[in-house]
Structure 1
Amino acid sequence: MIKRLSKYFGPGTFVAAAFIGPGTITICSIAGVTFGMDLIWALALSILATIVLQNMSARVGLVTQKDLGTAMRHVVKHPLLKGILMLLVVLAIVFGNAAYEAGNISGAVMGFSVIYADTQIHFGNFQVDYLPVVIGTICFFILNLNSYKKIESILIVLVVLMSLSFLATAVITQPDYTALLKGLVLFKMPSESLTTLLAIVGTTIVPYNLFLHSSIVQEKWKGLKGLKSARWDSAIAIGLGGLVSIAVVVAASRLPKQELLSILDMAETLEPLYGIYAKYLLGFGMFAAGITSTLTAALAAAYVLRGCLGWKVSTSHPKFKWTWRGILFLGVFFSSLGINPIQLIQIAQVSNAILLPFIAVLLLVIVSNQKLMGEHKNTWIQNLVGLLIILFCLFLSLKSFFMMFNG
């Protein structure tokens, strides 16, 4: 079964696993409960933009045999500008991913607690949640396999099961398909929906995925013969991730309007309305989303650091391994102590949103470079589409920046 799935899924699964995390599930839940299906169009456009940008990133990796960080260092010649750019990328993505990791592991714990609530160990008046340690240990052993094929197989299974869980939850809630179609085509922006809209886009188009994708395509395919497969892989895997996001919005839209603080609130509301299976499906989906994002966030940080700092090392080198181990440890540490990672995650989201247009511009410059890309450089149509995405990312960046300072 896994061999069959691996014919259709590959590096794109890593991208889908990365952006369908607890943060995305929570944002989509809030969007559905608060605005119904009115913002589904924003999700659909975000998914299309993600497919376009990730295809460019994959093409850079296969044509140049360089990851995006290395390609950026090749294109930016001025030493000072190059140093500043690499520093910004490392700070925003590596430290940002450390913050995300706490949220990913906490999300996996939250999903598991829907099924089994008692995950605390008590020492007098002091209590520690043991599940983050268990999740971190599982992820450690998976990443320590140091085998692209094995990690890919595990992610394929988890992403497929996660997708089925959320899609089944949406079907159980008996959605209004007419409202779903209107949400896709009418481009509504209800009052006070801008913050949620920005969050939807910001959790879908993720800068570190561009670095991750350009690296792992080289693990799957060698050279130009993988270009066609990479295009289909991105479209199928990222498209499936988009369906998951839409399914969460659809399921949440069937709930009465309420203040939704976590997936636990949604699960508890689903049970009396649609039965215990809806609750358990949602809980398992959240658990799987947390696990997959925990794996990819740690791995992406290591790839970013390797490319941006010019490490000429393999994935089995101690530098690479201790990077993802450090990110994983920080996530386990903050989750185990019950430290709320929301503020850290919000800062990470803002920093990534601000960084995104700069990364997208450099990506567009690289894929338009005749010397680097040869006959596989962007066409004028691809550049036009890329430019429109960059303008939208710039709008997102400026809005995120002003919202951060205006409270």
Structure 2
Amino acid sequence: MLAIVLAFGPGIFAIGYTIGTGSVTSMIVAGSTFGMQLLWVLLLSCLFSGLLMFVYGNFALITGETALYAFKKHIKYGKFLAILIIVGVSFGQWNSLMGILGISANIIYEILAINFEGVIPYKYETILITAIVIISVFYGIMLIGKYTFFEKVLVIFVTFMGLSFIISLFFVQPLPLDVIKGFLPSIPQVPGGKMMVAAFVGTTMAAATFLSRPLFVKGKGWTIKNLDQQKKDAITAAILVFVISASVMAVACGALFLEGKVVTKVLDMANTLEPIAGNLAVSIFFFGTLSAGLSSIFPCLLIAPLLLADYQSGELDTNSRQFRIITFIACLVALIVPIFGANPIEMQILSQVFNVFVLPAVILGIILLVNNKKVMKGYKTNLGVNIGLCAALCFSCIISYNGVLGLLEYF
């Protein structure tokens, strides 16, 4: 079983980017507040995510080029588009990193508080020290690791996370009718409903997932001979993202929505299962959420140097001075929420909303590239893929507009 899991390709990074504490937080808040009403958003996001992973991966294998480097090289005003994407994606991912580290440190504090009551008066100090230790360990690993090493560590975290949430689903299940209704498109007409939809798309259809795909495909050592394998990897990743995310939402719906309970702080997420299964379920759920957080720290730290390397040359050198400096800055940014004692759940939801605004540019760029016969070396993108990409572009524009309305309501 371990051999099968470790054989998983670059799709594991897609799961790491997509299902972090941001996704878990969004799913729990949505499930506890709106039940299964937003399941249709999750389905569409995963469907388009799978398509975009497939297209970006194919582009890399056929042309040998990475995304931003190709934008700069082959698209008119592509240089401006690439810089805009780097700034937008890095801003969104670093915002996510703050929330991820805050939630992960809070989870460890809650586990310590349950077992050692002496730490309760020192909540702020415990969370801050825990956050510093976590981010220091990850930075140390970043300095010595290569692609294959990152992949193996990420596989372990993602496996634990997926099993934890799916096991949790057996403790509490939503009504089948609620699940069926969730596939019917509707937006909750309540304060925060529009922002929640945008946050959903921001976390499950993350631009960073597609932009990083060519670099991870190259890092895996795949060539044009691996087109079929790349396709299966993208489909598998999209299916796993949907199954795990829907499981989290369903657990929150079954345990909290029907009770009228709303999630506002980290401990509320553990309460998702406590009434039904006691400490065992809480421990499983906490472990899954912590694994989700830790599985997201790697990709979030990697994203800025990865995009910059993509733009400059299409090659990521994890031993370069540039890589070390940028990841160190990202580590300092990650500590903002723990240092100021801000609410990590609120920060996490907001960061997911910001992620949707750069999405239309990322989709438009790849549409222009894969339909350029000269760039694609004679390979023709079929009609079905083009229709899917256009539908994804329309969907991202609608969600971005929805996100603007949601933020205006919030502020």
Normalised TM-score (structure 1): 0.90
Distance 1:189 1:93, change over 3 A: closer
Separation in 1 of the partners of 2:394 and 2:213?
Answer: 22
Q: How many percent identity over aligned positions? A: 26
Pair 1:228-2:228 in alignment: yes
Aligned length: 402
**Which moved further from structure 2: 302-311 or 168-177?**
302-311
Residue in 2 that maps onto 1:54: 53
Q: Answer whether contact 1:5 1:156 (CA < 8 A) is retained.
A: yes
Deviation at 1:179, TM superposition (A): 3.1
Change in 2 beyond 3 A, CA 1:377/1:338? farther
Q: Tell me which residue corresponds to 2:242.
A: 242
Shift of 1:248: 0.9
Letter in 2 for 1:258: K
Structure 2 counterpart of 1:200: 200
Deviation at residue 289 of structure 1 after TM alignment? 0.9
Contact 1:62 1:221 in 2 (8 A): no
| Alignment partner of 1:38 is 2:31 | no
Instruction: State which of 87, 91, 111 in structure 2 corresponds to 1:95.
Output: 91
Q: 1:365 aligns with which of 353, 365, 368?
A: 368
Q: SS at the partner of 2:304?
A: helix
1:55 corresponds to which letter in structure 2? F
Q: Secondary structure at the match of 2:41?
A: helix
Give the equivalent residue in structure 1 for 2:216. 216
* Partner secondary structure for residue 275 of structure 1: helix
Correspondent of 2:109 among 104, 107, 113: 113
Q: Deviations over 1:218-251 (max 9, x none)?
A: 0113320121111111221232122111011110
Contact 2:194 2:402 in 1 (8 A): no
State the partner residue of 1:4: 4
Which secondary structure does the structure 2 equivalent of 1:101 belong to? Answer: helix
Give the deviation of 1:84 after TM superposition. 2.9
Conserved? CA contact 2:9–2:220, under 8 Å: yes
In 2, the alpha carbon distance for the partners of 1:351 and 1:229 equals 33
Q: Distance in 2 between matches of 1:392 and 1:353?
A: 11
Partner of 1:13: 12
Alpha-carbon distance between aligned partners in 2 of 1:92 and 1:145, rounded to the nearest angstrom: 28
In the TM superposition, what are the counterparts of 1:3-402 in structure 2 within 5 Å? 3-7=3-7, 9-77=8-76, 81-117=77-113, 129-184=128-183, 186-192=184-190, 193-254=193-254, 255=256, 256-310=259-313, 314-340=317-343, 348-402=351-405
Give, in whole Å, the separation in 2 of the partners of 1:402 and 1:84: 26
Distance 1:346 1:44, change over 3 A: closer
Structure 1 pair 105–358 and aligned structure 2 pair: CA distance change class (3 A): same
Question: For the Cα contact (< 8 Å) 1:37–1:183, is it kept in 2?
Answer: yes
Residue 405 to residue 268, structure 1, CA distance change in 2 (3 Å): closer
Tell me which amino acid in the other structure corresponds to 2:189.
S
Deviation digits for residues 117-155 of structure 1 (CA, Å, limit 9, x no counterpart) = 3796989x9776211112112212332233211211111
Helix, strand or coil for the counterpart of 2:317?
coil
Aligned-pair CA distance for 1:178: 4.3
Where does structure 1 lack aligned partners over 5 or more consecutive residues? none
Deviation of residue 271 (structure 1)? 1.2
Structure 2: unaligned runs, 5 residues or longer: none
2:386 is paired with a residue whose SS is helix
* Contact 2:10/2:217, CA 8 A, preserved across alignment: yes
Letter in 1 for 2:5: L
**Mean Cα deviation higher: 93-102 or 380-389:** 93-102
Partners of 1:135 and 1:316 in 2: how far apart? Answer: 21
- Preserved CA contact (<8 Å) 1:353 1:397: yes
What is the CA–CA distance in structure 1 between the aligned matches of 2:360 and 2:389, rounded to whole Å? 11
Q: 1:309 to 1:350 in 2, by over 3 A?
A: farther
Per-residue displacement from partner, 1:257-282 (whole Å, max 9, x unpaired)?
Answer: 12311341131352133221221111
- Give the alignment's TM-score, normalised by structure 2: 0.89
| Residues 263 and 234 of structure 1: CA distance in aligned 2, closer, same or farther (over 3 Å) | farther
Q: Distance in 2 between matches of 1:126 and 1:108?
A: 15
Asked if 2 retains the 8 angstrom alpha-carbon contact of 1:120 and 1:130, the reply is no
1:401–1:205: structure 2 CA closer, same or farther, 3 Å change rule? same
Per-residue CA deviation, residues 164-221 of structure 1 (Å, 9 max, x unaligned), is: 101111111144334324433x334443343322221221111111111111100113
Alignment check: 8 A CA contact 1:98 1:328 kept: no
Contact 1:2 1:153 in 2 (8 A): no
Does the CA contact (< 8 Å) of 1:18 and 1:293 recur in 2? yes
Q: 1:321 to 1:203 in 2, by over 3 A?
A: same
Q: Is the 8 A contact 1:98 1:330 kept in 2?
A: yes
